[in-house]
Structure 1
Amino acid sequence: MARPSLRGVVAAATSLLALAATSLVAGPAVAATGEAGPCALPRTEVHHSLGVGDWNDAYPRPDHSLDAVMVFLSFPDHHPTYTPKELVADHFPATTQFFQRASYGKFTLRPHPLRQWIQMPKASDWYGMQRDWNNERRSVYLRDAIAVADPKVDFSRFAIVYLVADPDAPGVDSDATKVVNFDQPLHADGTDIRRVVTVFEQHPPDHNVLAHETGHVFDLPDLYHRPSDGKGDWDTYVGDWDVMGSQFGLAPDFLGWHKWKLGWLDRRQVVCVQRSRDITLESIAAVPAPGASIGTRLAVIRTGEGSAVVIEARSATGNDRTTCTEGVLLYRVRNETPSGGGPVQVIDTHPRTDACWDLSVYAPLADAPLGVGETYSIPGAHARVEVAGRTPSGAWTVRITTGT
């Protein structure tokens, strides 16, 4: 079948306004109803809202297999040192395996890398790549990338587009790696391209960086805090406890709330706490045996129209196998707080101590979880959480007392 000419792609790209991942506005808010349950916060208009009441159809939902193309871009001012095959191995199969474990086998990310470099029309340093990239130069980069790739890529086949730059080209800045959303989608091969992942990583790259960026493709927010002066700690909101906070975290599996939003958990695995009760929580990172039940993974206490406290267990298994501490993690979720503003904040149940200073991205939160025999009263939630014990299989027995 004949494919549309490149002319349509270039025409659309000429008026391109490229927006960084922190600027695309989500769709309208819809109240939580039906299967979502009374503790499911509704989605709001903020970017990457953590409402779970419905899905924003502007993003692909990773509740089935999705195909991703990897395009390798070289520049006239540098001959690539590495082959595309070597750069693919930096990210795959590790990223696919990360998502398979995180989703309990419900999602498979299928990469389709090109086998050759495709040369961009301008020198690498012309594009001015950097974290806070000039919008005009970035737009030209994206327009050029789609134009040179189009003869070799049928974009209609792919839900995700990775544009991988030659890591050793003189103008490439690894800090510029990010998801870029388009104010107006590009059109190629009869499909809309709403966003791309621009990869400028060194070889080898930052650990789990592609898992983090792909999380944005699925409408997940940044959970780190960027200091206004660029100095100080970036990881004060969630520390090690989610790859969307830091790809270097010791316990980088997605928080259970993220898994609920993505469709990897449903009401059968989420307990909405409205009275005092005991709950047995399976570790959020534990991958069930084939055919086995996922079990209960989350307990949620709704604290307001747009806020909740979430309780989950974290253990040294699956994506969390390198965790500093094990226990029951508590955190607050707010659906009206945008990406980068602290939509999730881990509750430090041991505020006077820290752990793993030599390894943790933020040691004060490395020992945030409650251990067996410990109790914590949640400020503002009128609830007390006690870790009563562990089962022979390793699950955590949690006693939640409301009305305190």
Structure 2
Amino acid sequence: MPRQQTPGGVDRFHLRSTAAALTSLAALAAMSLVAGPASADPGAGPCALTRTSAHHSLGLDTWNRAYPRPRRTLNAVMVFLAFPDHRPGLATGELAGDYFPATSDFFEQASYGRFHLVPHPQPHWITMPKPSTAYGIQRDWAAGDRASYLRDAVTAADREVDFARYDVVYFVADPDAPGVDSDATKVVNFDRPIRADGAELRRIVTVFERHPPDRNVLAHETGHVFDLPDLYHRPTDGKGDWDTYVGDWDVMGSQFGMAPDLFAWNKWKLGWLDAGQVDCVQSGSSLHTLQPIGRFPEPGSTGGTRLAVIRTGPGSAVAVEARGSAGNDGGICTEGVLVYRVRNEAESGGGPIEVFDGHPDSEACWDRSVYPPLADAPLEVGQSFTVPGERIRIEVADRTPSGEYTVKIST
């Protein structure tokens, strides 16, 4: 698995009784990370898929309240962990600068100003009790080693950090310590939350990135904290291409993508699109004017329509959105109308979103795309596409001088 094509993953993890050294763990309460407590979403609308028991399901009729929803200001603590076998050569401020304000800016732009992620980097290194080589840090981490690392990290940090003040927790390891593996960066979800300072820690982002880190890696991992799934494809034999599902489109597919802004469906799930910005397509033919999703709305504007949705079954839908060179998509390869399928029962990493290739006989930007066959997937003006296996035809009729696309959808 080439590192340059592989975002960090998500692990669900049970912190076993070996964590008894943390006295606050004695009163752990069970929780479900999959089903979770739900709250109805008044902005869902008739085309919204229902949330299922799939891990990070893209159903959005309800919100899983086990996860913080990024529709307000959230505070994130960044704890820097050193080890006895290596003296850090970097100041904590340098590492904090690797991730912020870039990560906050990404979400500020993606949410159209509806979400603010405020970082609180700690001013100095906190030393772990064991050498870095003692924890067996790697991508597919042994459960016992990971338990030891997290137990020691929470214990060490709790002396100085009031976890009750924060919504998101990042543990950043000394990138130059000999036992640190940059491929191990991921979110660890707990079957039972850890109690610290009266707060329940349900998940922690463990960061092992090099300095400087992979582009947008923390935005990807933070997306998991908000219940977004991995959109890449992990080959079962460890060989093959990771980016066949969505290519460059959406940071949850690849942190290296040229168009990393979140799909409009993901923005809808997170609460950054209102029901009035989503067209639910009924039978027959209809015209839709779509604003590129990367464009920040003008002051006083509602932002316009950002997504058209055609339900294709109880657990699937076809989504249509416009992508252009704006905001997080400033490095885009090709502009146009992107069509993709969403499935609410697909697990994280199992293809919950699959982009349709509007130009299956060509590819683009082979020198910088993570998956050139999908780099030119969007439809341009005058082009049309029939969704495989469905009686759905999408035609791009026009593009206004200001950049909106007029799309005809026939079902």
- TM-score bucket of the superposed structures, by smaller chain: over 0.9
Describe how 1:53-132 pairs up with structure 2 within 5 A. Answer: 53-132=61-140
Offset at 1:34?
Answer: 5.4
- Counterpart of 1:11 in structure 2 is 23
Distance in 2 (CA, whole Å) between partners of 1:29 and 1:152 is 34
Offset at 1:15?
Answer: 10
- Counterpart of 2:8 in structure 1 is none
- Counterpart of 1:337 in structure 2 is 346
SS of match in other structure, 1:258? helix
Distance in 1 (CA, whole Å) between partners of 2:209 and 2:25 is 25
- CA-atom RMSD in angstroms: 2.0
Deviations 1:106-142 (A, max 9, x none): 0000000000000000000100000000001101100
- Counterpart of 1:225 in structure 2 is 233
Deviations 1:31-54 (A, max 9, x none): x88542211000000100000101
Larger deviation, residues 44-53 vs 377-386: 377-386
Q: Residues 9 and 186 of structure 1 are in contact (CA less than 8 Å); yes or no, is this contact kept in structure 2? A: no
2:311 paired with 1:299: no
Offset at 1:24?
Answer: 4.4
Gap runs ≥5 in structure 2: 1-18
Equivalent residue letter for 1:213: E
Inter-CA distance 16–182: structure 2 relative to 1 (3 Å threshold): farther
Offset at 1:289?
Answer: 2.3
Inter-CA distance 67–143: structure 2 relative to 1 (3 Å threshold): same
- Counterpart of 2:361 in structure 1 is 352
Distance in 2 (CA, whole Å) between partners of 1:69 and 1:9 is 23
Larger deviation, residues 247-256 vs 8-17: 8-17
Offset at 1:393?
Answer: 1.1
SS of match in other structure, 1:197? strand
SS of match in other structure, 2:183? helix
Distance in 2 (CA, whole Å) between partners of 1:15 and 1:203 is 38
- Counterpart of 1:262 in structure 2 is 270
SS of match in other structure, 1:309? strand
Distance in 2 (CA, whole Å) between partners of 1:191 and 1:153 is 12
2:213 paired with 1:201: no
Distance in 1 (CA, whole Å) between partners of 2:84 and 2:28 is 24
Distance in 1 (CA, whole Å) between partners of 2:333 and 2:209 is 27
Distance in 2 (CA, whole Å) between partners of 1:388 and 1:120 is 60
Distance in 2 (CA, whole Å) between partners of 1:379 and 1:15 is 52
Q: Residues 170 and 205 of structure 2 are in contact (CA less than 8 Å); yes or no, is this contact kept in structure 1? A: yes
Inter-CA distance 369–114: structure 2 relative to 1 (3 Å threshold): same
Distance in 2 (CA, whole Å) between partners of 1:175 and 1:320 is 25
Offset at 1:91?
Answer: 0.4
- Counterpart of 1:3 in structure 2 is none
Q: Residues 271 and 300 of structure 1 are in contact (CA less than 8 Å); yes or no, is this contact kept in structure 2? A: yes
Deviations 1:137-175 (A, max 9, x none): 101100100000001111001000000000000000000
Q: Residues 9 and 187 of structure 1 are in contact (CA less than 8 Å); yes or no, is this contact kept in structure 2? A: no
Q: Residues 225 and 237 of structure 1 are in contact (CA less than 8 Å); yes or no, is this contact kept in structure 2? A: yes
Q: Residues 331 and 345 of structure 1 are in contact (CA less than 8 Å); yes or no, is this contact kept in structure 2? A: yes
Equivalent residue letter for 1:357: W
Distance in 1 (CA, whole Å) between partners of 2:317 and 2:146 is 38
Q: Residues 335 and 343 of structure 1 are in contact (CA less than 8 Å); yes or no, is this contact kept in structure 2? A: yes
Deviations 1:163-194 (A, max 9, x none): 00000000000000000001110001111000
Deviations 1:361-399 (A, max 9, x none): 000000111001001111233111110111121111101
Describe how 1:26-65 pairs up with structure 2 within 5 A. Answer: 26-27=35-36, 35-65=43-73
Offset at 1:9?
Answer: 7.5
Inter-CA distance 310–290: structure 2 relative to 1 (3 Å threshold): same
SS of match in other structure, 1:234? coil
Q: Residues 160 and 196 of structure 1 are in contact (CA less than 8 Å); yes or no, is this contact kept in structure 2? A: yes
Offset at 1:87?
Answer: 0.2
Q: Residues 28 and 195 of structure 2 are in contact (CA less than 8 Å); yes or no, is this contact kept in structure 1? A: no
SS of match in other structure, 1:228? coil
- Counterpart of 1:4 in structure 2 is none
SS of match in other structure, 2:370? coil
Distance in 2 (CA, whole Å) between partners of 1:196 and 1:111 is 15
- Counterpart of 1:210 in structure 2 is 218
- Counterpart of 1:188 in structure 2 is 196
Deviations 1:39-94 (A, max 9, x none): 10000001000001010000000000100000000000000010000000000000
SS of match in other structure, 1:86? helix
The normalised TM-score by structure 1 is: 0.94
2:387 paired with 1:375: no
SS of match in other structure, 1:214? helix
Distance in 2 (CA, whole Å) between partners of 1:174 and 1:14 is 33
Aligned counterpart for 1:144 among listed residues 152, 155, 158: 152
Q: How many pairs align? A: 391
Inter-CA distance 235–140: structure 2 relative to 1 (3 Å threshold): same
Gap runs ≥5 in structure 1: 1-6
Distance in 1 (CA, whole Å) between partners of 2:271 and 2:343 is 19
Inter-CA distance 136–33: structure 2 relative to 1 (3 Å threshold): closer
Offset at 1:251?
Answer: 0.2
Q: Residues 223 and 244 of structure 1 are in contact (CA less than 8 Å); yes or no, is this contact kept in structure 2? A: yes
- Counterpart of 2:398 in structure 1 is 389
SS of match in other structure, 1:90? helix
SS of match in other structure, 2:373? helix
Deviations 1:218-264 (A, max 9, x none): 00000000111211110000000000000000000000000000000
Offset at 1:8?
Answer: 8.5
Equivalent residue letter for 2:280: C
Offset at 1:16?
Answer: 9.1
The normalised TM-score by structure 2 is: 0.92
Offset at 1:26?
Answer: 3.3
- Counterpart of 2:410 in structure 1 is 401
Distance in 1 (CA, whole Å) between partners of 2:113 and 2:21 is 36
